[in-house]
């Protein structure tokens, strides 16, 4: 007699637990988005539907500066992190196994396990000394900090893509006397492109959304959009913050959705 296949969805209480989980996760987000369209100045009293606060946020020069700064940092950090992650992924997959390879893999992914506050404090100490030595206090520190913690996020999808690729095509190109660089440029890179794009998008979203490290590393007048929102929450809370958060959420959802579909691509 054949044993019935286990299906967690058929277990008692699965639907209730799943529904409760989704409510806990998404009800606050739905509430935030709804109140972003609130005409009232109150965060809790509904005053009708309006796009007023989106217009206020768009006209706010501080928001414009912070948004532009966030985009510059995220694009720069994600670009550098993706290049570094691609090289690291190739170095740890397109090689014969050797002692220490597992340690290198764990070392690259270590920033994912270290509490972000620890990374932030460590970067604050290091960059404080560098600022004293060099006198430089520009955005370079934020870009370096974001690059450092974005590399593992870019590395994972790129490595996963490399591990899923058929090495026979690369070997065939090498057998036809193609130099290693040509094999990489004409065979490996085109096949790897979906993983690289996915890694870049993931690193971009992580950098764009970061608060803790940015708050510790930034100098005066270098607010990113998340740190600006945090500052507003400390001073004066208005539905403008809801509107910024809703726009931020929409951008993140679009990018993560693109990342999801690219990562599903098999060839």
Question: What region, left, alpha or beta, does residue 136 occupy, with left being phi > 0 and alpha being psi -120 to 50 degrees?
Answer: beta
The string of DSSP codes covering 93-134 is HSS---TTHHHHHHHHTHHHHS-HHHHHHHHHHHHHHHHHHH
The confidence score (pLDDT) of residue 181 equals: 82
pLDDT surpasses 80 at 229? yes
The confidence score (pLDDT) of residue 4 equals: 62
Give dist(CA 22, CA 159) in Å, integer: 31
**176 or 16, which is more confident:** 16
267 confidence band (pLDDT: 50, 70, 90)? very low
Q: Give the best-scoring range by mean pLDDT among 69-78, 134-143, 159-168, 215-224.
A: 69-78
The confidence score (pLDDT) of residue 3 equals: 62
Q: What is the pLDDT of residues 172-213, one digit of tens each?
A: 877 777 787 888 888 888 888 888 988 898 899 899 888 999
pLDDT surpasses 60 at 1? no
pLDDT surpasses 80 at 256? no
User: What structural domains and CATH numbers belong to the chain?
Assistant: 12-50 (no CATH), 61-264 (1.10.3720.10)
The confidence score (pLDDT) of residue 135 equals: 85
pTM of the model: 0.82
Q: What are phi and psi of 177, to 5 degrees?
A: 70, 25
Q: What is the pLDDT of residues 26-80, one digit of tens each?
A: 898 888 888 888 888 777 777 788 888 888 888 888 888 998 999 999 999 999 9
Token pair for 74: 């995220």
SS3 label, residue 178: coil
Mean pLDDT (the chain, rounded): 84
Which residues sit opposite 49 in a β-bridge? 38
- Counting other chains too, the contacts that 1-5 makes at CB distance below 8 Å and 24 or more residues apart are none
Give dist(CA 204, CA 79) in Å, integer: 8
CB 66 within 8 A of CB 55: no
């Amino acid at each position: 007699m054949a044993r019935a296949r286990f299906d967690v969805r058929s277990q008692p209480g699965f639907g209730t637990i799943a529904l409760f989980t989704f409510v806990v996760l998404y009800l606050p987000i739905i509430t935030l988005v709804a109140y972003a369209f609130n005409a009232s100045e109150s965060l809790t009293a509904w005053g009708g539907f309006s796009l007023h606060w989106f217009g206020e946020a768009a006209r706010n020069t501080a928001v414009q500066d912070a948004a532009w700064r966030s985009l510059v940092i995220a694009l720069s950090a994600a670009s550098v992190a993706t290049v570094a992650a691609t090289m690291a992924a190739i170095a740890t997959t397109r090689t014969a196994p050797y002692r220490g390879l597992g340690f290198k893999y764990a070392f690259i992914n270590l920033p994912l396990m270290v509490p972000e506050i620890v990374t932030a404090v460590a970067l604050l100490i290091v960059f404080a000394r560098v600022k004293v030595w060099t006198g430089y206090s520009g955005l370079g520190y934020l870009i370096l900090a974001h690059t450092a913690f974005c590399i593992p996020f870019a590395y994972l999808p790129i490595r996963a893509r490399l591990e899923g690729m058929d090495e026979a095509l690369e070997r065939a190109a090498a057998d036809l006397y193609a130099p290693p660089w040509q094999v990489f440029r004409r065979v490996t890179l085109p096949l790897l492109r979906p993983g690289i794009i996915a890694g870049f998008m993931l690193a971009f979203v992580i950098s764009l959304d970061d608060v803790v490290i940015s708050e510790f590393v930034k100098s005066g007048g270098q607010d990113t959009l998340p740190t600006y929102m945090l500052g507003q929450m400390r001073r004066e809370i208005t539905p403008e913050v809801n509107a910024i958060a809703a726009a931020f959420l929409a951008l993140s959802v679009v990018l993560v959705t693109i990342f999801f579909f690219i990562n599903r691509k098999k060839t």
